């Protein structure tokens, strides 16, 4: 079945450590996204990529980095520069970016806790 | 820039009662609008979407939404709520130019009383 796979589902990190969250899709979608979810704040866009080897910052990109070397993969690295990284992270993809093709398909999420 | 407002943070309804969740958007052109549902600890699932045409759109699980341009609203409705509808609901808007990613509202958490 086609879908989006995020791993790990739960991750614990010590302060000062970088961690990488994996996101893989087999939907053959061109666009991929990372959102951060905090209670009462909805989903906030971290980064998005419309095509391989290209990505754009979202609203809260500071302290995060991404790469898009393959169409099916869009890993997110949470660096030690991110001041408050404890959150639920959601990866999504769409056929295209924006407009009619902007309907998102989501993974199950990764919960990161900084100890 | 586009924005989405969901005025109700938390709503409680009795099972079998009707439901309306509010969504207001701010966007200059005709927006592309979506409603998503999220169960605890899960990803989001699309309920319905509006691109153009008939302003009343039907979705999955018996939900519908009505686009009202004059009120800049896209409210979600269900005639009779089931206990399994308890979840968080998000309204979102997709532009056709500029930033090419959905903007989400802050969500409405629905609680269903027996």
Of all helices (H) and strands (E), which one includes residue B3?
A: strand B3-5
A39, A88, B91, B95, B97 from B65: Cα distances, Å:
25, 28, 11, 19, 24
Taking the CA of residue B114 and the nearest CA in chain A, the distance in Å comes to: 25
Interface membership of A99 toward B (CB under 8 Å): yes
Residue B71, SS3? helix
The rounded Cα B65 to chain-centroid distance in angstroms is 7
**Yes or no, beta carbons of A58 and B101 under 8 Å apart:** yes
pLDDT tens digit at each of 114 positions of chain B: 778 999 999 999 999 999 999 999 987 677 889 999 999 888 999 999 998 888 999 999 999 999 999 999 999 999 999 999 999 999 999 876 666 788 999 999 999 999
pLDDT at A38: 92
Interface membership of A11 toward B (CB under 8 Å): no
């Amino acid at each position: 079945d086609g879908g989006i796979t995020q791993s790990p589902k739960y991750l614990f990190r010590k302060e000062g450590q970088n961690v990488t969250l994996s996101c893989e899709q087999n939907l053959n979608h061109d666009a991929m996204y990372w959102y951060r979810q905090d209670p009462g704040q909805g989903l906030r866009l971290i980064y998005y990529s419309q095509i391989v080897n290209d990505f754009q910052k979202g609203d809260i990109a500071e302290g995060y980095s991404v790469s898009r070397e393959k169409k099916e993969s869009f890993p997110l690295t949470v660096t030690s520069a991110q001041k408050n990284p404890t959150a639920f992270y959601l990866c999504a993809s769409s056929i295209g970016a924006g407009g009619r093709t902007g309907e998102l398909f989501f993974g199950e999420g990764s919960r990161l806790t900084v100890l | 820039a586009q924005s989405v407002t969901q005025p109700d943070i938390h709503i409680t309804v009795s099972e079998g009662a009707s439901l309306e969740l509010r969504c207001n958007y701010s966007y200059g052109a005709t927006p592309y609008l979506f409603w998503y549902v999220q169960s605890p600890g899960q990803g989001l699932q699309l309920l319905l979407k509006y691109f153009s045409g008939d302003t009343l759109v039907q979705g999955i699980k018996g939900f519908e939404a009505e686009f009202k341009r004059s009120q800049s609203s896209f409210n979600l409705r269900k005639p009779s709520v089931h206990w399994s509808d308890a979840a968080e609901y998000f309204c979102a808007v997709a532009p056709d130019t500029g930033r090419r990613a959905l903007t989400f509202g802050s969500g409405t958490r629905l609680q269903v009383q027996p």
